[in-house]
Amino acid sequence: MIVSINWIKDYVDLEGFDIKNLINKFTLSTAEVEDIYIKGDDVQNVVVGEILSVENHPESSKLHLLKVDTGDKIRSIVCGAPNVRVGLKVALACDGGRVPAGFIEKRKVAGFESEGMCCSENELGIGDNNKGIWELDTDAPNGTDIKTIYPVDDILFEVDNKSLTNRPDLWGHYGIAREFAALTGRTLKALDLAEVDYTGEDKVSVEIPRKDLVFRYSTVKMSGISRNESSMAMRIRLYYCGMRGINLLADVTNYIMLEIGQPTHAFNADSVDKIVVKTPESKINFTTLDGTQRVIDEDTLLICNGETPIGIAGIMGGLDSEIVQDTGSVVLESAVFDGINIRKSSQRLGLRTDASARYEKMLDPELTLIAVGRFIKLVKSLDSGAYVSSKLNDLYLKKYPQIVLEFNKKYVDRYTGIEIDDNRIINTLTSLGFGVDYTDGNFTVTVPSWRATKDVTIKADIIEEITRVYGYDNFSITTTSLPLKPVKNDYARMADDEAREILVKKYSMHEVHSYVWCDGRKFKKLGIDVEDNVRVINIENSDNGVLRNLMVPTLLTIANENKGFSSKFGIFEIGRIVNGTDKDGNCKEEKHLGIVLYDKSGDEKKLYFELLEIISCISAEIKNQKTVFTKISPRHNWQHPKNTASLSIDGTEYGFMCTLYPSNRSKFDKTGVVVCAEIDLNIFDTINAKAVSFEEPSDRQETYYDLSLALNNSTRFEDIEKCWQSLEIAEFKSANVIDTYDKLGFKGITVRLNFVAKDRTLEMEEVQSWIDKILINLSDIGVVLRS
């Protein structure tokens, strides 16, 4: 939101204050200011000029040769604007002057000397009109600096909208002016409002079937409007704050919204007989002011003329009720709708406007009549022939309860930790609009309506009001004494950190963080289907509407986007997935660890065993147990039909690892390979870790023996492993897979068995006797030495 200091000065006298320091105070006390803009510094020596003569350029059909009176002299100007004419008052940038585009110099243009430039609103940075030169509506003498007539000089500051979420009163300049009044100790001037001075019986008919979605609805009719354009001062102010000038009535409603934060809408009175505020019985098509036809569902609140929709409540009016050039009579709507309904409707329609952004914040219903009074005042001041032509129709359906909070001075001192004078507390709260009753150290505070919609509800909120205006930078820095208590270990979190450390430090992998929903467009590139799961209802037409039930597909899309930056890498994520809903309809969240390895070399087998080693290391380091890898049928269409295995410890399955189905692999990379795994950390955390045992290493030489074995298709490594484990050879140390072979129907493996004794150096005959026994056990399961 962009705020104009000129506008603030309408309501607070800031004379004598450094504006930039005040803006900094506003940041510290109220809301974050993102930037400050100085307007008008780049407009210098631009004066009122009067065109005395206009001649066509002899060699150009677009250029004109002008004589312009600037008071001190008659200047020759070459101008290409289509709207030049004798007697027109213009904004002339004289030679030596400056406009936002640069400095103005006397120079020849198309063969003729030009002593300046006739400027458009856009060229001066005060409007978006660039169709012709600015036609001044002023009686000021020629040569008068335009900055003395129009509010070109201003200081703007941009407030971060997120910091205003809980402060609907700050979505208008008057609310921000109230903050400046409190910060400076100056008086906040009252808004200049007009009364509804109509004495007849005519009244705009209003019916509200959906009373649950409307807090207050106020209407009045004005007629006799003949002026189509708002004042230049108003248009400059709107433009500086990010809105363009449209016409008198649209500009006034936008001006009121920026001034007090209350959206209003002016309907062409010729299009309104009876206002009905309702939702449609079924979906309908409706064309909004921007010319877009939209589908309106049964939950979207509409403003109707009888049965015909003329606007989407709180969002945008309809094209058929638009204010046009000859509109002389309008029906003003000033209403407060249910903020939640407006937000949801805005999201469904994909249409977020300045009005809907304010309604979402839960506006104060007391603002509707203030907006009506301000509208009447502004329209009458700009168009003397305008008048109120109906009674006020004010339907106040739902009121926020009045909030009264009681506390004593000790409560303030205890919360703030400092001594703040009673009078300062009273003055601070009063300047912010709170009602204060003080008796013998006890405060009774009445929260103003504009802060009672959702902002100030408890006593602690009052403490915040007092301290932020007092100034957090005025607090003395002290060290708080607190008892130190041991923090209970979160073993699940510790296991996550340990897994993270293994993956990063030992295997040089990269941790990523992704969204919890599926990106259908990215999934489609890899041929991965978005599996049915919990859907986000407000984005049902989006590819991103389904929450993920696995982490690997998301990581595959990330790997696919990054494969061009490295020939080999690994990524992992510890995050959340959603596995349907429980009996209460809540999402069943699970914590998973996903891993994806990519290698441009195309050696899928090697990469698969690298992943197997990583998983084995995780289970060994964290649980001190071995993971059993069991071949399973694929459970998802992107998993390879043969190279998919479950992960389990002591019979508890806790995840899977796999390569990709050939078509998915081809879409990922025609030459590179990728393997992936996913661990359900909720299950993994329930597996008991075995106690770590230690033994003294032997100082004797280690002996190893390599066995090259021929396997049948059903043999698992766990089966082979039992052949030496069952012998319980005390000197046996470890077994390592050296190589594997699986081609042309033949399957083989080379295993290195390591032996060492603590008290002697082993003889080969002794080792051979163990090997013979192992080979007998292997033959019993159909495994023999490879010939």
Distances (CA, A) of 314 to 311, 340, 360: 9, 11, 9
- Give the mean pLDDT of 223-233: 93
Which residues make Cβ contacts (< 8 Å) with residue 285, sequence separation at least 6? 293, 294, 295, 296
Q: End-to-end CA distance of the chain, in Å?
A: 81
Residue 482 domain-assigned (yes or no): no
- Give the mean pLDDT of 154-163: 93
**Element housing 493 (H / E):** helix 491-501
At 167 the pLDDT is 92
At 308 the pLDDT is 92
Residue 309 pLDDT grade (very low, low, confident, very high; cuts 50, 70, 90): very high
Closest among 305, 317, 315 to 348, alpha carbons compared: 315
97 and 220 co-located in one domain = no
- Give the mean pLDDT of 71-77: 93
Residue 451 domain-assigned (yes or no): yes
724 and 597 co-located in one domain = no
Furthest CA-CA distance within the chain: 122
Residue 530 domain-assigned (yes or no): yes
CA gyration radius, the chain: 39
19 and 76 co-located in one domain = no
| 415 pLDDT higher than 90 | no
At 446 the pLDDT is 96
DSSP string of 170-208, one letter each residue: GSSHHHHHHHHHHHHTPPPPPP--------SS-B-EEE-
What strand order describes the sheet that includes 732-743? 732-743, 746-755, 703-711, 784-785
Residue 193 domain-assigned (yes or no): no
Residue 146 domain-assigned (yes or no): yes
509 and 641 co-located in one domain = yes
Mean pLDDT score of the chain, rounded to an integer? 92
Closest among 567, 519, 510 to 539, alpha carbons compared: 519
| 271 pLDDT higher than 90 | no
Out of 215-219, 480-484, 592-596, 672-676, pick the least confident: 480-484
621 and 721 co-located in one domain = no
Q: What is the CATH number of the domain that holds 771?
A: 3.30.70.380
Alpha-carbon gap, residue 254 to 261, rounded angstroms: 10
| 5 pLDDT higher than 70 | yes
HSE-CB of 394 using CA atoms within 13 angstroms: 13
Strands 510-511 and 568-581: parallel
Closest among 359, 363, 355, 353 to 341, alpha carbons compared: 359
409 class by beta-carbon count within 10 Å (0-12 exposed, 13-18 middle, 19+ buried): middle
- Residue 771, domain extent: 703-785
HSE-CB of 513 using CA atoms within 13 angstroms: 0
Report the 10 Å Cβ neighbour count for 758: 12
In the numeric block, which tokens belong to residue 356?
């809907």
- Find residue 44's DSSP bridge partners: 98
Q: What is the CATH number of the domain that holds 248?
A: 3.50.40.10
291 and 434 co-located in one domain = no
Alpha-carbon gap, residue 3 to 406, rounded angstroms: 35
Q: Are 227 and 403 in contact (CB under 8 A)?
A: no
Residue 512 pLDDT grade (very low, low, confident, very high; cuts 50, 70, 90): very high
Q: What are phi and psi of 524, to 5 degrees?
A: -60, -35
- The last residue of a domain, from among 349, 374, 396: 396
Residue 540 pLDDT grade (very low, low, confident, very high; cuts 50, 70, 90): low
Better-scored residue on pLDDT, 480 or 548: 548
| 766 pLDDT higher than 60 | yes
Residue 324 domain-assigned (yes or no): yes
Give the chain's domain count: 6
Q: What is the CATH number of the domain that holds 614?
A: 3.30.930.10
- The last residue of a domain, from among 416, 444, 474: 474
Residue 196 domain-assigned (yes or no): no
Residue 766, Cα to own-chain centre: how many angstroms?
Answer: 72
| 541 pLDDT higher than 60 | no
Residue 694 pLDDT grade (very low, low, confident, very high; cuts 50, 70, 90): confident
- The last residue of a domain, from among 445, 474, 503: 474
At 408 the pLDDT is 93
Question: Residue type for 138, please?
Answer: T
438 and 516 co-located in one domain = no
- Give the mean pLDDT of 414-430: 91
Strands 205-207 and 112-114: unpaired
Residue 511 domain-assigned (yes or no): yes
Alpha-carbon gap, residue 442 to 444, rounded angstroms: 7
Closest among 158, 185, 122 to 35, alpha carbons compared: 158
391 and 453 co-located in one domain = no
Q: Are 152 and 39 in contact (CB under 8 A)?
A: yes
Which residues make Cβ contacts (< 8 Å) with residue 206, sequence separation at least 6? 217, 219, 274, 275, 276, 277, 393, 395
Out of 203-217, 589-603, 689-703, 768-782, pick the least confident: 689-703
**Sign (positive or negative) of CA dihedral 456, 460, 466, 470:** negative
28 and 58 co-located in one domain = no
> What are the start-end ranges of the H helices in 30-94?
none
Residue 739 pLDDT grade (very low, low, confident, very high; cuts 50, 70, 90): confident
**Sign (positive or negative) of CA dihedral 724, 730, 731, 735:** positive
Alpha-carbon gap, residue 576 to 395, rounded angstroms: 48
Q: What is the CATH number of the domain that holds 432?
A: 3.30.56.10
Out of 5-14, 254-263, 540-549, pick the least confident: 540-549
Alpha-carbon gap, residue 415 to 566, rounded angstroms: 55
- Give the mean pLDDT of 119-147: 93
- Give the mean pLDDT of 261-268: 93
656 and 602 co-located in one domain = yes
354 and 416 co-located in one domain = no
323 and 380 co-located in one domain = yes
397 class by beta-carbon count within 10 Å (0-12 exposed, 13-18 middle, 19+ buried): middle
Distances (CA, A) of 555 to 513, 560, 689, 730: 9, 8, 29, 45
